[in-house]
């Protein structure tokens, strides 16, 4: 979702969790693509309104953590205090690019692992200090990085390392087909994994039941509602103009 109204409709429809998308916020609030322009403060402001509007858990899009290791820690703490139940932290270079665009690049393995470790440490310290908890979803975009020789295997390696570092959920972006999805899930047996899908022309997204049968615990459709919103708005405006 990208606003409180969308979140309320998600809850009303019976969904168990809501995802507050950086892509959707960039589009709706800035009228710009998802290329790292939305700031930490803007995400907090929009996300806080969403969290306050619903009683279901809300996962926030933490992007790359908005900078270095110290920024990652600040992002985790800020999102937790804003009311998010969880957040994603990804391994793209900063500033990031939309995962659906060309030119996605990820940081080296060691740097990616340091981001996750920083997020996990911030979560643990926050839990011990104040009793506030937040789920860390560690995401890799290396499947989209054309500079990696075997991106699927690297995605598996990173997801396994993220889990070993203490992340609660592993998430590989950009898996191309059901074979890759199953391969990733098989490599992560015993680890909660999230799967993201986009309704691209000619594709048939998995149902929640199919994703669960593959071993995924969370199925994300991060921009579906925004696409519906844009299509419906254009249709309505065209009708009004005529």
Closest by CA to 58, choosing from 5, 19, 99, 24, is 19
Indicate whether 106 pLDDT > 80: yes
Indicate whether 192 pLDDT > 90: yes
φ, ψ for residue 193, nearest 5 deg: -125, 150
The second-level CATH assignment, the architecture, of 4-241 is: Alpha-Beta Barrel (3.20)
Query: Residue 95: its pLDDT value, please?
Result: 82
Indicate whether 139 pLDDT > 80: yes
Indicate whether 190 pLDDT > 90: no
Range of weakest confidence among 48-52, 93-97, 127-131, 154-158: 93-97
The confidence band for 202, taking pLDDT boundaries of 50, 70 and 90, is low
Query: Residue 198: its pLDDT value, please?
Result: 84
| Domain extents in the chain | 4-241
Query: Per-residue pLDDT averaged across 184-196, rounded?
Result: 95
Query: Residue 46: its pLDDT value, please?
Result: 96
Indicate whether 200 pLDDT > 70: no
Indicate whether 94 pLDDT > 90: no
């Amino acid at each position: 979702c990208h606003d409180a109204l969308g979140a309320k409709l998600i809850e009303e429809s019976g969904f168990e969790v809501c995802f507050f998308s950086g892509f959707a916020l960039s589009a709706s609030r800035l009228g710009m693509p998802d290329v790292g322009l939305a700031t930490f403060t803007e995400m907090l402001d929009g996300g806080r309104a969403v969290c306050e509007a619903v009683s279901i858990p809300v996962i926030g899009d933490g992007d790359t953590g908005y900078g270095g290791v110290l920024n990652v820690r600040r992002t985790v703490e800020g999102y937790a205090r804003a009311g998010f139940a969880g957040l994603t932290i990804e391994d793209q270079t900063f500033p990031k690019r939309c995962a659906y665009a060309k030119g996605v690049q990820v940081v080296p393995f060691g740097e990616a692992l340091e981001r996750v470790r920083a997020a996990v440490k911030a979560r643990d310290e926050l839990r011990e200090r104040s009793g506030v908890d937040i789920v860390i979803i560690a995401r890799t975009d290396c499947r989209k990085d054309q500079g990696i020789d075997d991106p699927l295997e690297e995605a598996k390696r990173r997801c396994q390392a993220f889990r070993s570092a203490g992340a609660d959920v592993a998430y590989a972006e950009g898996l191309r087909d059901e074979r890759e999805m199953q391969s990733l899930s098989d490599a992560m047996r015993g680890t909660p994994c999230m799967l993201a899908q986009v309704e691209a022309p000619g594709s048939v997204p998995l149902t929640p039941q199919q994703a669960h049968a593959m071993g995924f615990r969370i199925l994300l459709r991060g921009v579906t509602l925004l696409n519906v919103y844009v299509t419906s708005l254009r249709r309505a405006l065209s009708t009004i103009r005529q």
